[in-house]
Amino acid sequence: MKYTSAPFKIILGCFLSVISVLSILWGQAALKENLTQYNVGLMQQKSYPPYIFIYLFKNIGCHYCEEEKAVINKLYQKYKDKIIFIGITEGHEDKALEKIYLQETGMDFTYIFPDPHFKQWKKLNIPTFPAKFIMDISGRVLFLETDLYLSDRPEGREGIKRLRTFLDGL
């Protein structure tokens, strides 16, 4: 998908709105203004799903993220028609390397954004990764989870069950 296409700009607008809401939730100054009514209306007109799933993960050097990717990819395949999935991972200063890097995340998502040096994560005081958020297009957080979803652990299976139950209810 081209970075200048209308769907990309809409998704980016949603992402920036999410960052704003998360900033407020964590007591930080908003990074960007919330979505305008125009963008919300445009998304509704284009029949985009009204919910956004944001997955913050580290692409390299995070054993837990690697294990969880398979679970999140399965959720993506099942719910991609009901919700927009956005991945956010560390980036790279060299844009050519970053492009290759983003293609090799192992995630099936259509939209994966870089966050070089975890600048946005640090501004939001996100304590750990991977982290999962579900929001509506107005920017309201509906679901927030920072626990790991490792299926070989009872708490991981419970986390997956909570998320699936929530997604089924959308």
Tokens coding 123: 């501004």
Total tally of structural domains belonging to the chain: 1
Residue 25 inside a domain? The answer is no
Tell me which range, 40-44, 116-120, 163-167, is most confidently predicted by mean pLDDT.
163-167
Is the pLDDT at 136 greater than 70? The verdict is yes
Q: Lowest-confidence range among 26-30, 79-83, 160-164?
A: 26-30
Residue 89 inside a domain? The answer is yes
* CATH code, domain carrying 145: 3.40.30.10
Stated pTM of the model:
0.65
pLDDT for the residue numbered 71: 85
- Report the run of H or E that residue 127 belongs to, with start and end: none
DSSP calls for 68-89 = HHHHHHHHHHHHTTTSEEEEEE
Interval 3-33: pLDDT, tens: 445 555 556 555 555 555 454 444 333 333 3
Q: Are 162 and 142 in contact (CB under 8 A)?
A: no
